[in-house]
Amino acid sequence: MSGSRIGKAKEALVLFIKSLPQDTYFNVVSFGSGSDNMFPQSVKYSDKEVDSAVIKVKEMSADMGGTEIYNPLFNLITAKPIDGYPKQIFLLTDGGVSNTEGVIKMVGLNNKFSRVHTIGIGNGCSEELIRGCAKKGKGCHVFISDSEDPSEKIIQLLTDSLSPVISKMKLVYDKNLV
């Protein structure tokens, strides 16, 4: 990500963090040729943590090399979820990866305990990556063009992602009634 796209991504990320539901955990993972977690582990939403995250986001720059997303996304999607909280992963990218099919396939094979939502930033982002990861991740996606204000789309994506997640469901039926 470079130029105006990093600015648009930071703007979207700040809005996103400030709009999270109160009773939630969050973290931000930056990626490029490597990856870096903002916090050692996900933190509980609070004014203090949100303020800290916003300051860190505003200091971010596009200095991590190429866009290698497979390993950081794999690590997130396969990490043990926090008990009582559904794992929602929001991938914000300009979509310029070299192994689009591999990333989409990995998301589909490992999404048992998480949802992957995607945000495509800029006019040149890969529609295949954004749509594919959201579909295989049982999530939602949005595209934000270079000239667009991200506010409405970020809020809508967050709202859409709040649909209930069912886990540990058990179906019991009476064999005599069948």
Query: CATH homologous superfamily of domain 4-160?
Result: von Willebrand factor, type A domain (3.40.50.410)
Q: What is the DSSP string of 17-80?
A: HHTS-SS-EE--EEESSSEEESSSS-EE--HHHHHHHHHHHHT--S-S-S---HHHHHHHHHSP
User: Residue ranges of the chain with pLDDT lower than 50?
Assistant: 1-2
Confidence at residue 62, expressed as pLDDT on a 0 to 100 scale? 64
How do residues 8-30 score in pLDDT, each as one tens digit?
A: 778 888 988 998 888 999 999 98
Measure the CA–CA gap between 87 and 67, rounded to whole angstroms.
23
Residues 86, 102: Cα–Cα separation, whole Å = 25
pLDDT at residue 27, as a whole number: 94
Instruction: Tell me the three state secondary structure of residue 132.
Output: helix
Residue 44, beta-bridge partner list: 25
What are the residue boundaries of the structural domains of the chain, listed by start? 4-160
pTM to 2 decimal places: 0.82
